[in-house]
Amino acid sequence: MIYYDNASTTYPKFSSVYEETMKLYREVGINFSRNNSDKSRNARVIKENLIDNIKKIFSTKNEVILNSSSTFSCNEIIFGLNYNNIKTIYISPFEHNSVYRAIKKISKEKNIELKILKFKKFELDIEDMKLQFMSQKPDLIILNHASNVFGNILPVRDIFEAGKIYNAITVLDASQTGGVLDFSEISGLADFIIFAGHKNLYGPSGIGGYIYNKKISLNPLLYGGTGVKSEDEEMPEELPERFEAGSPNILGMIGLKIATDELIEIGIENIRSKKENNFKNLYDLLEEYSYDIKIYSEKENNIGVLSITAFDYSPQELEEIMNDNEIITRRGMHCAPLAHHHIGTQDGGTLRFSVSYFNNDENLEVLRETLDSLF
């Protein structure tokens, strides 16, 4: 099988994730906050080590909140903020539905103005943004770090720096970029950074979270038992317990801890370099068929995701043909209709290829044979 759907979920993971996760789960797979046994303390150490890894990867000293997914994180942040002083929200035209659907709901309920930053294809219109901010100051800015449809990396630093002039709350959806990009220049500008364990952190599904500037008031999305202060009617104020209702996903934390250990040992720069090389090789191959397909993504400033359409096949037909040749891609809207409307692929969407650290030249040869049979 040739796997080019890594923007959904990376596959394969590091071999250690498969080999060590269940082994460790057998040893310490109990709740880290419900008793004081040795196993519980060992589980707590794993969680603490995972949090240390996340802080290294995202170049931050802020609080790390672990939960089930980046989608849960988006909802907890968007529905948990205090909107008394939030009148205008800015987003990009590349937002995933985990942000867009939640922010549309809150903007309607709270009667908040929702503005979309102006991009010329993939390039931010900086002057227009500055004029927008002067006209209607940004109170909340939520940005996708890189499009899950087209792969373009957004100029987060420029936007957040401009927003901070007006004391905007800043939220970065780093689901596609955590584990690949350097966050050292932007982590201090982001009040929240959302991450997904199952993408470029190479962990299992069902584990994710966000990095939280605790100076920003936030209410939890989920209420229930935390293992501490059970006598209180309200959720505890202490972090991270305030956002840890219910029994945590210990198995997911173990898997993500092992994955991030491996990621740090290999080195994010090495991961990024390999992934960039895989992407450019894929892009070069698809460019050879430019008379038959249209590539919407750009080769430069890309996280490793590209979308195409074909002149003689629908995205659905292309995906089926790829599947018949054991090449896994994804067709459709990719949970990001805003991006398709922005680029003009809203009628049917695209066929998406997304690479990982593990793709290789043999994958390209199989893809070439398939494309030759089509065109």
Query: Residues 51-103: pLDDT tens digits?
Result: 999 999 999 999 999 999 999 999 999 999 999 999 999 999 999 999 999 99
Mean pLDDT over all residues of the chain? 96
The predicted structure's pLDDT at residue 231: 79
The predicted structure's pLDDT at residue 277: 98
Q: Among all chains, which residue has been given the structure tokens 């309920």?
A: 109
CB atoms within 10 A of CB 255: 30
The predicted structure's pLDDT at residue 14: 97
- For 198, phi and psi rounded to 5 degrees? -90, 0
> Residue 236: left if φ>0, alpha if ψ -120 to 50, beta else—which one?
beta
End-to-end Cα distance, the chain: 22
Question: Residues in the chain with pLDDT < 70?
Answer: none
The predicted structure's pLDDT at residue 43: 83
Distance of alpha carbon 228 from alpha carbon 244, whole angstroms: 10
Distance of alpha carbon 274 from alpha carbon 286, whole angstroms: 19
Q: Specify the DSSP class assigned to residue 34.
A: S
The predicted structure's pLDDT at residue 361: 96
The predicted structure's pLDDT at residue 227: 72
**Residue 320 tokens, joined:** 């089926």
The predicted structure's pLDDT at residue 33: 72
